[in-house]
Amino acid sequence: MPSEYETDAAAQSDGIHSLPANAQELYQTLTREGAAWRGTAAPEIERIRQRLNAQAALLSAEQPADDAPTTRRIAQPLVTVSAPSGYEEHMPQRPTAAPHQRAAGLRRWITTGVTLALIAGFVGALALTHRLSNAPQKGVTGVTGVNGDTGNKPTGWVSLSKLDYATTFSANDTPAIAPSDHNVVYETMAQGLQEHAPASMSATRDGGKTWRTLALPLQADHIGYAGISVSPINPQVIFLSLIDTVSADCPANRLESMGEGAGSFCRLEYTSVNGGASWSAANLPLANGVAGLLTTNVNSAGPIVSNSASAQGQRLLSSFMCFNFGCTRLVSSADGGVTWSFADQQMLAGGAKNVCDYTASATSATVYATTAAGQCGYGVQNTLWVSHDAGANWTKVGDLATTNERGMVMGQDSATGASLLYMGLPRTTAMSKDKMGDPFPVISQSPSDVLVSVDGGQTWQHAPTRGIPAGHSVYFQIGPLGTLRDGSVLMDFIPTTSANGADADNFSGSAIYAWKPGDATWRYITSVSAEIDTLLVTPAASGQTDTFNAVLVNRSGQGTTFAFIQQVGIR
């Protein structure tokens, strides 16, 4: 409702005071009436806005055909499966946090262990995975595939097939696409630590047309969480991180407390080399006498593996979470994921305590890592290291310029052959406090805070700001999405109103832009109308175009749904 002062000022501006008194009275009535109407209509207007944004994102990716219909209606989301009946009665919704708090929440998960979700994943050297299964729930528009021709520009996103589950359970993991075969997808569902409802796992080999149920290595109703990831070099090698909620199942040295007398649980990791037909306990290194878990590096572009026979061969790399969140380390496997060992001893010997992030080259044995002298987290000074022999030996490069690293990724300039190291390294613009009262830095949202180094991290140059529409900000929370065949880095951009948290609950889509050294501007690649959960970038051979495969997540009070989509023709 406008204040009297505002109404008077507006009336003055409109020249209403020259009107008869009863017309002025009508002006005031209409002002009040209009304000009341806007308040009542606001939810409907917001719903329409989201629909328009979704449609705009889809239209951006195609050109009108001669016979294009005058009006295109937004179809319903591809995947909408309601939560099980009665679910809402006993599963509280997690509070929604602003985007800048999501990453803080993830970091808190690593550093304090208060969150029981677990993220595990692998992504190929030619693919990057972002997993934000610990991200808060929020409303996101559904996704509709748009068919388009293949040519020198990207086609629209095409729905490959619906994924066959959706849930609002906080304990579920997201579907895992096999980086080496996009038709192979695994998905798990578990219902949290308190439910004791059977977990399940299923897989598809044909892009979702048909699904089969897989047996789990533990009794299904003992599983409170099941996170799945796939080897980037073999779609049949899968890694399953479980939380066993029955303490009697757990080795004594793996027990963790749920707190406040709620009982104990343990985290267990299993490996299958035959697509889930059989399982064996993962052979993981010990930290503090207890094995930990493989995990994605949640503030990075994701774990990387090289599948270059001439370089790192079949070596896999992953982050490793020590028992009870005691540390984060870097591990590697030389036998395709059957056995693992630490690959960070030199860095620890050089003063590092935890490995916070890493990225590896697709075409050489080079690996970069950032470390912290204490716990990894926001506002922590990270140090950059480099290894040119897949982690056997490390050289300290130096401290990062800010304490806000938001992921790094390697690429190779197809024109010059130069090795490129990109990093999201925003400046601190202010200090604030998160929902738990802990201070955290408010970071810049400028694309110029995407940095690149062509000399192994010795010197850095800033990306330009040109090419990004006004009112859009880098979505640093998910860091670099990957690189294209030409070596350009991919970054996600969202409206600034979403980026600064003011519109966090109305995430209405984002646009992906690319840039590489030498380019004066960012160039638009594609848009998505929902939150990117997983983006796999498959660079094609020379002269061909790249392919994106993505899992988009739509979180709302009605359930969490996923869309499995593909876009080809990316340059």
Partner 1 sequence: MEYERFAPLVTPHTELMARVAAALVGASDAEDAAQEALVRAWRAWPGLRDAEATRPWLMQITVNVCRSQLRQHGLRARFDDLSESEPLSTQELAPGTVDHVNALDLRRAIVALDDDMRVVIALRFYAGMDSTEIGELLGIAPATIRGRLRRALLRLRQTLDGAGQRATPAHTTTSRKDA
Q: Would you tell me which residues interact with partner 1 (CB under 8 A)?
A: 10, 13-16, 18-20, 22-23, 26-27, 29-38, 40-41, 44-49, 51-53, 55-57, 59-64, 68-74, 153, 468-472, 493, 495, 508-509, 511, 524-527
CB of 75 to partner 1, least distance (A): 12
Q: Are 333 and 278 in contact (CB under 8 A)?
A: no
Rg (CA), the chain: 25
CB of 45 to partner 1, least distance (A): 5
Is 198 buried (19+), middle (13-18) or exposed (0-12) by CB count in 10 A? middle
Pick the closer one to partner 1 by CB: 105 or 145.
145
Pick the closer one to partner 1 by CB: 47 or 212.
47
- CA pair distance 75, 57, nearest whole angstrom: 13
Pick the closer one to partner 1 by CB: 16 or 454.
16
- What separation in angstroms does the CA of 178 have from each of 183, 237, 300, 493? 8, 9, 19, 26
CB of 11 to partner 1, least distance (A): 10
- CA pair distance 449, 22, nearest whole angstrom: 58
Residue 366: how many CB atoms within 10 A of its CB?
Answer: 21
Pick the closer one to partner 1 by CB: 448 or 506.
506
From the list 337, 339, 419, the residue with the least C-alpha distance to 386 is 419
Q: Are 211 and 102 in contact (CB under 8 A)?
A: no
CB of 77 to partner 1, least distance (A): 16
Pick the closer one to partner 1 by CB: 264 or 506.
506
CB of 446 to partner 1, least distance (A): 16
Pick the closer one to partner 1 by CB: 403 or 526.
526
* Amino acid occupying residue 194: Q
CB of 42 to partner 1, least distance (A): 9
- CA pair distance 330, 318, nearest whole angstrom: 6
Pick the closer one to partner 1 by CB: 70 or 85.
70
Q: Are 370 and 400 in contact (CB under 8 A)?
A: yes
CB of 500 to partner 1, least distance (A): 14
230 φ, ψ (degrees, to nearest 5): -125, 140
CB of 160 to partner 1, least distance (A): 22
From the list 495, 228, 489, 547, the residue with the least C-alpha distance to 359 is 489
CB of 72 to partner 1, least distance (A): 6
CB of 490 to partner 1, least distance (A): 14
Pick the closer one to partner 1 by CB: 346 or 448.
448
- What separation in angstroms does the CA of 52 have from each of 45, 46, 57, 529? 10, 10, 9, 10
Tokens of 115: 């969150």
* Amino acid occupying residue 158: V
Pick the closer one to partner 1 by CB: 59 or 246.
59
From the list 490, 496, 494, 505, the residue with the least C-alpha distance to 535 is 490
104 φ, ψ (degrees, to nearest 5): -60, -35
Which of helix, strand or coil describes residue 399? strand
DSSP string for 212-226: EE---SS-GGGEEEE
Residue 21: how many CB atoms within 10 A of its CB?
Answer: 7
Pick the closer one to partner 1 by CB: 202 or 508.
508
CB of 150 to partner 1, least distance (A): 16
Residue tagged 């990306």 (tokens) = 463
Pick the closer one to partner 1 by CB: 27 or 460.
27
CB of 559 to partner 1, least distance (A): 23
Is 69 buried (19+), middle (13-18) or exposed (0-12) by CB count in 10 A? exposed
| Sequence-distant (≥ 6) Cβ neighbours of residue 397 within 8 angstroms | 368, 383, 384, 385, 386, 456, 457, 458
Pick the closer one to partner 1 by CB: 45 or 401.
45
Pick the closer one to partner 1 by CB: 256 or 503.
503
Terminal-residue alpha carbon distance, the chain: 50
CB of 432 to partner 1, least distance (A): 25
- CA pair distance 349, 326, nearest whole angstrom: 17
CB of 349 to partner 1, least distance (A): 48
Residue tagged 């600034």 (tokens) = 496
Which secondary structure element, helix H or strand E, spans residue 565, and what is its range? Answer: strand 559-570
Q: Are 186 and 562 in contact (CB under 8 A)?
A: no
Q: Are 175 and 163 in contact (CB under 8 A)?
A: yes
Pick the closer one to partner 1 by CB: 70 or 310.
70
